[in-house]
Structure formats: C-alpha cells, structure tokens
Amino acid sequence: MNATSFLLTCKPDFEKVLIREIALCGLLLKEEGPGWILTERSGAPEKTLPVRELCFACFILENPVIITATSSNGLAEKLVDFLAGQIGTKKIEGPLGSLFFSSGDEKLIHYAETVQSRFAEKFRKKISRVAKLLKDGIPSGHDFSEGLFVHFTDFNQARVSFRARSQGQQRMKMDPQAPARSYLKIEEAFYMMGHAPRPNDTVVDLGAAPGGWSLGALKRGAMVTAVDNGPLKEPVQSHPNLHHLKEDALKFYPDEGVVSDWLLCDILDRPDIIFAVLQKWFSRRWCRYFVVNLKVGRMDPVLLLKKIRDEKEGLAPHCRSLTIRQLYHDREEITLMGELKAAAGRNPA
C-alpha cells in the first residue's frame, strides 16, 4: 500500500486506544478529534501490522484531502469537482462506494446528509453515467474500495478520499425472541466472517446463559452444547437441538477425540483467564471455527492484542485465519473470529 496518510474512525472514547494501536502499523498521529484520528507513515522499516488488521478502527480513508466551503452547496460543488478529477478518463464500470458521515454530533451528521443530497443532484447533471454507479456505503471486501468517502469534522470542513475501507462492523437487527442483547454480537460476528454454523454443525457455547449466542447457532440448524451453570431462557431452553450442561464453562473440555465445528465463548471474566482456556482449545484443535468475546475492562487493550498475536505464545500461530475487532455491538470488549489450522496427526491429549 502506497498511501502516506489515513483518516481512521473509531467509537467515541476509544481515540486514545486507537492512537496507541496505530503504532503497530508503523503509523504516527498527526491530528485527532472526537471519534477520529489522522495518521501518517512513520517510515519504520521493521515488520508492521497491515492497516486492515486494526482492531479499534471502523472506517479507513486513504490519503484524505481537506475541502472547505461556507455552505452545503459550496461543499457539494467541490466534491463534484474532486470526484470528477479522480475519475478523469478512467473507464468506470463497476459500482463506486459513497459514504458521507461524521463522528461528531447529530446536527453534523444530518448536515452531512444534506451535503450528500445536494452533491448527488449536481453530480447527476455533470456525469450521469457514473452517478448511476454510486452506491451507499463501502463495498465489502478485503481491500480498499474506490468511490467518494467524505468525513465531516466541522460544518465548513470535510476530509474526502477516493479510496476507503470498512473494517466490517455492522449494526444488526434484534430478534424479538432473543433472550439477551448479546445475540446482536454473534450475528454481527457471523456477518463479518461471511460464514456461520450450518445445519447439523456441532457447536459448543461456553458461558451460554441466557442463550443469545446459542440462538444464533440454533436458528441455522446447528446442534448446540450450551455450557453454563446459569439458566437458559426460551426459545433456547427447550429447543430440540440444544443440550444444556450445567457446569463451569471454564473447566469444560470435550471428550477425547471429539472436535466441534464451532466454539462460541462469551464469558464475563478477565481476558487472561479466557486466554488460558483458549490456549488449550486452540493448541489441541478441539474446534474448527471460533467466535470469542473478551471483556477488556481494566486490562490494557493494546497489550492484549500483542499477546493474542504473539508468534510464539499467542493464539495467532494456531489460526488459519484470525480477525480481531471491536464490533459495533461491543462495548468495552473485543471479538476474535476465525478458523484454526488443521491438526497435524492426532490431537494431543
């Protein structure tokens, strides 16, 4: 990636955490505001984390430029000129992303929508063929997408980029039957992975009560073993595909030779305790896919990320794929999602 600067957005009150995390990517802080930071490359030659792996970032705008105007019409006109200049003589055939947003107050967010509406009207008149290709949001994918991505930091100023990336967070719709808000987190994790339990997949849900995560698997036809001393609520409790083990989830381990398709884990305990449990599950390949929520609490989140990714003692060496994000529905939490490497021969006892 040849970019020299990025505008990164995050959840409110997590700016300082993100500022510390960008150092893992070889980035330096240039400027910050509520819910966003502006970075530049440090030029560090050592191995650094790809920007797309940032946990606490939500959107990433590549090489943003500042536009200013004293009215919404003025901003819209400058955005038309910016996008027209970026397109130039390019042959645009696929969809282009379009995101007008702000990390500020509600009035600024509504103002961004006003500018977007006026931009769309003006751009249709100037380049109608390309205007039809503009789609709201950032297209999903593993790389940066092209389009018009505008982040407002004030009513007279915005930063705009032709290339941007969404880190995948997504607001999910609540199921009225879900026994807990935690259901939203597992649905978001499945959405982000692009993969979820299938009919007859075996799932172990550690710390299952009251059943939000189990419901996400049961709705997809999976066979769920819910491990928790606490009670489950309906419709999970009496579901025919559910087996409830009333035991301590931290001490539960599968029978010898049993490998589950999925491990789900959302336990309210210290990250280091959950980390030790995961080390056993991952090193012994007791599951294939996993979604795990860690409560950051008072633990340093950046040190926790380093511990997870450590090439010798961490969880990452056991994984074929590993994504770590602060989900839209996470609070002071992070979520680990991925797939373990295939076991080489028989799993250790």
User: Looking at the annotation, which residues are catalytic?
Assistant: 295
Which string of b and e fits 109-147 if b means at least 16 CB within 10 Å? eebbeebbebbbebbeeeeeebbeebeeebbeeeebbbb
- Residue 86's nearest CA partner among 138, 24, 168, 145 is 145
- In angstroms, the Cα distances linking 344 to 4, 43, 225, 347, 348 are 42, 39, 26, 8, 10
Exposed / middle / buried, residue 338 (Cβ in 10 Å: 0-12, 13-18, 19+) = buried
Closest CA relative to residue 287, chosen from 240, 227, 234? 227
Question: CA of 64: how far to CAs of 37, 134, 264, in Å?
Answer: 12, 19, 38
* Beta-sheet pairing, 260-266 with 287-295: parallel
